[in-house]
Each structure stands twice: as structure tokens, then as C-alpha cells.
Amino acid sequence: MNKTYFEIQTLTLSDLNLLFNIFTQSIRKIASKDYTHFQIQAWINIPAAQWQAKLLTLITWVAKINTVPVGFISLDRPNHIDMLYIHPDHQCKGIATQLLSTLEQSIITRSISTLTTDASLTAKPFFEKRGFTTITQQQARRHGQDLTNFKMSKDFNPKKLNKNCISL
């Protein structure tokens, strides 16, 4: 098995155009198995400048291979994952897992006990595999289309995480 080497950095202005491309390509090629053509079009129907302006308000980590962005994760509010997208050519290489781990370490160091996200049908299994539980199914309305997603959370409360730990 070939190992993919990538590094994770914080967002830079020079990343913005490529991240918008990752966002749209990931939805078009990966989420299309779970959403209709019209839902996909509604999801990605946002001007690049508006999307980039929003991204600049978030805390974002970018995975890069040879300095080229291949994925990113963004934190909104103190504890909500707003976006996690990996370029279609770089799926299933551990990039999303490492980005999530980086974000989780960041919130743990700030003593935040719960992490939330609104996961798409496509992303739900990824988050479940990493300890998130579904709170509720939701419908997000975008340009006349309903997109199913799931409010999910993961608990980082040290007292709950260590309930089976015996001090020596």
C-alpha cells in the first residue's frame, strides 16, 4: 500500500481559490451518490467570493501535498465543524481523518467538551466511525431544494471519557 504524505497547515489567502474548487468538485463527484443532480446544483450554487468570505470567518486547516491543497476542515463557533471536504482524487487516504484529529486536538486544548456538525448523507458514516452520534435528521433548504443532513455530536468531557479509568 502506498502511503500518501501530506501536511496540515492553517488557511492562507493563496489557498482560497483551490479550496472553492475542492468544495465544488467533492460535492459534484462524491456526494452525487446520495443527492440528486438538482440538489447538488443547489448545494454548490454560491458565488466563489461569497463562499471565500465565509471561509475567512472560520478557523480552517488545510491538508497539502507538495504545497497543493487537497482537503480542508473548518470550525465555526467554538465547537461546530462547518465544512470538511477532500478532493475527489484524494479520498480514502486518511486526509479527512487527520484533519478531524487536528481540529479535535485544538478544541480539547481549549477545554471544549462537545464537538458538533451537520453531516451530509455522504459524510455521516465517516463521522459515525469516528465517535459522533446522530442527534436528529434535518432538512437544509438551498435554492428550492431540500438536502437531508444530520445534526451530530461527539463528547470530549474528560469525566465521561475516563469513567472506566482506574487511578493507580
Contacts of 118 (CB under 8 A, 6+ apart): 138, 140, 149, 150, 151, 152
Domain count of the fold of the chain? 1
pLDDT bucket at 162, cuts 50 / 70 / 90: very low
Structure pTM?
0.89
Tell me whether residue 23 is in a domain. yes
Q: What is the pLDDT, as a whole number, of residue 167?
A: 36
Q: What is the pLDDT, as a whole number, of residue 38?
A: 96
Instruction: For residue 2, give the C-alpha cell.
Output: 502506498
CATH number at residue 23: 3.40.630.30
Secondary structure element (H or E) that encloses residue 126, with its range: helix 124-129
For residue 96, pLDDT over 80 is answered with: yes
How much of the chain, in percent, has pLDDT values that exceed 70?
90
CA gap 116, 79 in Å, rounded: 6
Tell me whether residue 135 is in a domain. no
Q: Which of 42, 44, 114, 129 is nearest to 81 (CA)?
A: 114
pLDDT bucket at 158, cuts 50 / 70 / 90: low
More confident residue, 108 or 28: 28
Tell me whether residue 131 is in a domain. no
Tell me whether residue 60 is in a domain. yes
**Which strands sit side by side in the sheet containing 145-155, from one edge to the other?**
7-10, 59-65, 68-76, 80-86, 114-120, 145-155, 133-142
Q: Which of 89, 48, 58 is nearest to 71 (CA)?
A: 89
The residue segments making up the domain with residue 83 are: 7-112
